[in-house]
């Protein structure tokens, strides 16, 4: 979107055009007719108006209040999902905060709900203007995150991660580059959101690394400076959303808004990690949430839920029950990693389809599945793991919720 497009959309005529576009259906079957209808009203600004209203649709459930915002599809793709942004904002309650990569203001909109005062800035003037319009409670300007125009505020940053649609793994390739950003904000309290796959060990960072998952998918690794970490080095934050009023897995929700209740389980390296490893499984094998695994807190989480490891080096856990809010597999048979033996056992159990989990063994699940030529009717699961340096396969019932 050009600055001129945005100028127009913020006028009364622009708002009227957005209203026309907002009432139309841009799904695949209707997109041609709807685009034509907007073009008939204003051919020059139709594309910008359609970008905004389709971005609003895409942002529904991801950004609170998106239906009233001016934003673009690209900005929505980069925005932090509101339950994650809101939880971060809760940790910054009553502080003065400066979001130095505020984009169109998704995260900024969460910060103004909790922080004492909020400043936002972005290098992109169009996005900064959108943020000004979208988050009236924040003071927004155009600025380089590497020269932030604030002095004492907590710095919040979310460097851009995608370039040409591809994920970036090298921190120096982010925009702004992470090593340079850390150098600039190192002396101040700061929170920097990173991609979960980023190699944070190469960074000059002391403080907490928080790995966050939302509804089972790992979303981010967030770097909290020492002053904000409360002495924690590693934290896994497992976030689950359910409908408001529905029972959650771990007692009362941390947050409730827009018909959604946000439930949270946290585990840190300050928790007890004293667990046994025993090669014989109990009734269930439990695969911990990805945030727990990536944060290196499998033993701490296992201890909390009364689980054991099958092998001290592998993240597969076992216990008499599946912890509430997580999933696992009932153990049926134990086999060697031998195709003939597996085929025989699976045929006897009438297996027709299966989920395959692999840890610690060099096996491609798709290749293994194909080689087993399943012909039965029951769904089952295979847990391929390593115990005492040998590959072991557990034939299990299908994934179950605890
Ligand atoms: C991933 S987006 C941030 C998304 C934001 N946290 C949200 O939830 O909407 C990254 C933003 O950083 C901005 N950016 C990139 N380099 C910058 C720099 N050197 N200074 C300030 N902003 C920058 C981009 O324009 C983009 O809007």
Question: Does ligand 1 come within 6 angstroms of the Cβ of 168?
Answer: no
Among 175, 182, 214, which residue has the most ligand 1 atoms within 8 Å of its CB, making it the best to mutate? 175
> What tens digit of pLDDT does each residue of 116-148 get?
999 999 999 999 999 999 999 999 999 999 999
| Residues 201-242 pLDDT 10s | 788 888 999 999 999 999 999 999 999 998 999 999 999 999
How many A from CA of 266 to the centre of ligand 1?
28
141 lines ligand 1 (CB under 6 A): no
Determine the pLDDT at residue 162. 58
Report whether residue 220 contacts ligand 1, using a CB cutoff of 6 Å.
Answer: no
Q: With cut-offs at 50, 70 and 90, classify the pLDDT of residue 166.
A: low
Q: What is the mean pLDDT of residues 302-321?
A: 95
Cβ of 175 closer than 6 Å to ligand 1, yes or no, is yes
Q: Is 190's pLDDT higher than 80?
A: yes
Q: What is the pLDDT of residue 200?
A: 77
Look at residues 82, 76, 85 and name the one whose alpha carbon lies nearest to residue 103. 76
- Atom 13 of ligand 1: nearest residue by CA position: 101
Considering the chain, what percentage of its residues have pLDDT values greater than 90?
Answer: 91
pLDDT digits (tens, 9 = 90+) for 25-44: 999 999 999 999 999 999 99
176 C-beta closer than 6 A to ligand 1:
yes
Atom in ligand 1 nearest the alpha carbon of residue 102:
5
Q: Whose alpha carbon is nearest atom 19 of ligand 1?
A: 176
* pTM (2 d.p.): 0.93
Nearest to 68 by CA among 117, 136, 127, 124: 136
Residue 256 pLDDT: 95
């Amino acid at each position: 979107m050009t600055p001129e497009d945005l100028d127009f959309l913020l006028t009364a005529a622009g708002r009227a055009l957005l209203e026309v576009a907002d009432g139309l259906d841009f799904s695949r079957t209707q997109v041609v007719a709807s685009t034509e209808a907007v073009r008939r009203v204003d051919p020059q600004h139709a594309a910008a108006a359609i970008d905004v209203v389709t971005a609003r649709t895409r942002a529904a459930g991801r950004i609170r209040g998106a239906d009233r915002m001016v934003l673009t599809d690209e900005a929505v793709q980069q925005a932090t999902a509101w339950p994650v942004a809101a939880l971060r904002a809760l940790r910054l309650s009553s502080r003065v905060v400066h979001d130095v990569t505020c984009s169109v203001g998704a995260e900024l909109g969460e910060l103004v709900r909790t922080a004492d005062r909020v400043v936002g800035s972005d290098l992109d003037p169009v996005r900064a203007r959108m943020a000004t319009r979208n988050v009236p409670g924040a003071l927004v300007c155009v600025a380089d995150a590497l020269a932030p125009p604030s002095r004492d505020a907590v710095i919040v940053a979310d460097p851009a991660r995608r370039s040409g649609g591809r994920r970036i793994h090298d921190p120096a390739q982010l925009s702004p580059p992470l090593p340079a950003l850390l150098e600039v904000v190192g002396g101040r309290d700061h929170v920097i959101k990173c991609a979960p796959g980023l190699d944070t060990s190469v960074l000059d960072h002391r403080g907490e690394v928080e790995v966050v998952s939302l509804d089972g998918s790992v979303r981010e690794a967030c770097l909290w400076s020492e002053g904000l970490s409360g002495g924690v080095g590693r934290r896994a934050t497992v976030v689950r959303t359910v409908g408001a009023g529905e029972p959650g897995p771990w007692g009362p929700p941390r947050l409730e808004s827009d018909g959604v209740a946000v439930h949270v389980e946290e585990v840190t390296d300050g928790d007890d990690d004293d667990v046994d490893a025993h090669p014989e499984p109990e009734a269930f094998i439990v695969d911990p949430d990805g945030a727990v695994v990536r944060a290196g807190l499998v033993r701490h989480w296992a201890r909390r839920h009364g689980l054991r490891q099958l092998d001290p080096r592998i993240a597969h856990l076992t216990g008499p029950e599946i912890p509430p809010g997580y999933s696992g597999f009932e153990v049926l048979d134990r086999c060697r990693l031998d195709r003939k033996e597996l085929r025989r056992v699976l045929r006897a159990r009438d297996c027709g389809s299966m989920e395959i989990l692999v840890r610690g063994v060099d096996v491609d699940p798709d290749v293994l599945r194909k080689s087993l030529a399943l012909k039965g009717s029951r769904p089952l699961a295979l847990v391929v793991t390593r115990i005492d340096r040998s590959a072991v396969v557990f034939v299990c019932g299908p994934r179950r919720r605890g």
